[in-house]
């Protein structure tokens, strides 16, 4: 009784197709988190990319608003990048 390479290849292709489906589903998902009692809201897609940052100007100093948004985005993207690199190294 021999090993069924054809069946193994069929299963591998099915798994690959399902993995691509999952990746596409994740890409379309959006997750929202808030901080500071709602002062800062961040939306991230399933690929761990920031898609939106909102800061409630009534809850922070208007003079610092742009700087705060930029710092939050840079820091969050850096953390996400580090997370991805760590996951790849495992």
Write out the chain in H/E/C secondary structure.
CCCCHHHHHHHHHHHHHHHHHHHHHHHHCEEEEEEHHHCEEEEEECCCCEEEEEECCCCCCHHHHHHHHHHHHHHHHHHHHHHHHHHHHC
Name the CATH superfamily for 5-89: Nucleoid-associated protein YbaB-like domain (3.30.1310.10)
More confident residue, 80 or 86: 80
Query: What is the band of 87 on the pLDDT scale with cuts at 50, 70, 90?
Result: low
Domain boundaries, the chain: 5-89
Taking residues 22-48, report their average pLDDT: 80
pTM: 0.63
- Greater pLDDT, 85 or 38: 38
Q: How does the average pLDDT of the chain come out, rounded? A: 81
Q: What is the pLDDT of residue 61?
A: 82
Q: What is the pLDDT of residues 43-53, one digit of tens each?
A: 888 778 888 88
């Amino acid at each position: 009784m021999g090993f069924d390479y054809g069946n193994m290849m069929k299963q591998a292709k099915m798994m690959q197709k399902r993995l691509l489906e999952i990746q596409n589903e994740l890409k379309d998902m959006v997750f929202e988190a808030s901080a500071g009692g709602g002062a800062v809201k961040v939306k991230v897609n399933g690929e761990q990319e920031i898609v939106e940052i909102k800061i409630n100007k009534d809850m922070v100093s208007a003079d610092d608003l742009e700087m705060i948004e930029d710092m939050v985005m840079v820091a969050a993207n850096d953390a996400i990048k580090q997370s991805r690199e760590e996951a790849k190294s495992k």
